[in-house]
Structure 1
């Protein structure tokens, strides 16, 4: 098994590449590792806030916004692992941490995300893929991509997304207050509000209440939006073959700085994740190296950097179709 890559055009499954023993080792989950990843995400957020609080200047502010926005994406990625049951080995820990420490802080909901995301895996790049709207509009023109980036960095994307989220959850006219409250609870907005109030309360107790709007809400409304868009583009836009499991999803090389600010927790190994749904994020790099060693590099959709992917995304001549702002910012991992 895995003695050589099959010819192009043949869809490949995990069992075509990896032995049963390799799959067993790659799919092993860990409560300790899950706790460490969550702690690392929040610890780096805390350090970035402390950096600016200790040395307040424009440079440390920009660094803090970018680092925190990148870690907010990291929380969404850990929520994604929890949606697959991979963040913790113990199911109760997986559900509680995935919801309260990862999803709610970035104003999303694990239990709503899970069925939506699993449908994406089932129908990747096919007509029934709920995330096809994210990849289908590309490539676009450079001017169109610049406008999208500007919307992200000025908070317009976030405002549109939050408005859509609240209106969808609030429901139509004529509902009672009790019915609306139930909808808000089921939509995750009550939990998200409680967690964000707790974060504000903690910072206030420490004497730094202003860090919540400046270095939590602002990164969430700006840098998090941009890196989420870039990651969405890199994962499925402009892939060479929508029907080939090694070519309808992309893995993008990421150096240390890129991993810090744009691609945390091995999210750049997206092809490996689609092939190996049962593998925790912290083992995806190992799976990638194993696939290269088995001779699959020529079959895989690989790119050298996110900058390369963005150049490809902006390669259309003239203004193409404009994808929906809210749809472009869906939490898709």
Structure 2
């Protein structure tokens, strides 16, 4: 099966294309700064007013901004953070990817295959959408594995052992391989730990950095994966094999940061920076293609579609499937980059 293609000039005028393709390094830097400001402000909130409410709120905000950093890294993988590739890669690696144990270049190699073969048999991301719809009990089990840290632990464990390389390799080769796969990520996290320790709040690193990374970020990564490609109407139609989901303020704060909900527009024009995707949506909504576009009003509506399988067909799964999926090189790259975009 082969997916249909749409040319950019079938979607909008030349002037509109110039407008939406324009990249602004300063806008990208502002989004990165916004993510880190919310992260540090959330940590400060708990340090100043330590109680269960501020802690839970901080975990949710920080987890969403960690996903936000992965989303901005995804923009970097498409060369959209800056006009110059060196600066684009610098911003993507140092401020977005490495702090959340991801890696832009490895993600780019795998992710471009997803764009070329979206929802086809050889789409490397098909495994994320193919199981749906599922039953509500099945989704509740997945939610529990995500929020309890089991999914995050399985992914990071697979990532760590992949970085160790083969036991038969010489020690020097294994050390070089480990540094290539995880060295900068560990270094950046040690810098973050050192900074928090110098501020007298070392405990914020395990409780307000690693914990959100292993829990809430996993919850909303799964929701995002479901919203983007699960239970779509037509796997061969570029307007219907992916989805845009409208997001209100709270959804953008806790679930869908930095325009990630405009996934249909991203697939049609993957070289458009994320902050221009709302403009692409506006143009498409006024076009003859509007009626065909797969758009849902919110994430609750998407989850209802994705959990519409009758409960009597429920088949409890096992956590080991997450580990098994993470053993191949491509899947490890996906896990490093927060399960694909």
User: Which TM-score bucket, shorter chain as reference?
Assistant: over 0.9
Which of 318, 322, 325 does residue 325 from structure 1 map onto? 322
* 1:331 positional shift: 2.5
* 1:332 positional shift: 1.1
CA distance in 2, matches of 1:244, 1:146: 31
Give the total of aligned pairs. 324
CA distance in 2, matches of 1:85, 1:285: 19
CA separation of 1:292/1:130 partners in 2, compared to 1, >3 Å: closer, same or farther? Answer: same
Range that drifts further, 212-221 or 321-330? 321-330
Aligned to 2:66: 72
User: 1:234-290: CA deviations, max 9, x gaps?
Assistant: 000011100000000000010001001100000000000000111000000111011
* 1:11 positional shift: 4.9
CA distance in 2, matches of 1:85, 1:201: 31
Counterpart contact for 1:235–1:270, Cα < 8 Å: yes
Aligned to 2:27: 33
Counterpart contact for 1:11–1:246, Cα < 8 Å: no
SS across alignment from 1:265: coil
**Structure 2 segments unaligned to the other structure (5+ residues):** 327-334
* 1:20 positional shift: 1.6
Aligned to 1:153: 147
Counterpart contact for 1:142–1:315, Cα < 8 Å: yes
* 1:52 positional shift: 1.0
* Residue pairs, 1:223-262, within 5 angstroms: 223-262=216-255
CA distance in 1, matches of 2:205, 2:4: 51
* Residue pairs, 1:278-289, within 5 angstroms: 278-289=271-282
Which of 162, 173, 191 does residue 198 from structure 1 map onto? 191
RMSD between aligned residues: 1.6
CA separation of 1:320/1:286 partners in 2, compared to 1, >3 Å: closer, same or farther? Answer: farther
CA separation of 1:322/1:240 partners in 2, compared to 1, >3 Å: closer, same or farther? Answer: farther
Counterpart contact for 2:260–2:274, Cα < 8 Å: yes
Q: Following superposition, which runs of at least 4 residues in structure 1 exceed 6 angstroms of deviation? A: none
CA distance in 1, matches of 2:316, 2:146: 18
Range that drifts further, 75-84 or 161-170? 161-170
CA distance in 2, matches of 1:281, 1:109: 19
TM-score, normalised via structure 1 length? 0.94
CA distance in 2, matches of 1:76, 1:204: 25
CA distance in 1, matches of 2:314, 2:126: 20
* Residue pairs, 1:1-333, within 5 angstroms: 11-187=5-181, 189-317=182-310, 318-320=313-315, 322=317, 324-326=321-323, 327=325, 330-333=338-341
SS across alignment from 1:129: coil
User: 1:98-129: CA deviations, max 9, x gaps?
Assistant: 01110011111111000100010000001111
CA distance in 2, matches of 1:237, 1:221: 23
SS across alignment from 1:242: coil
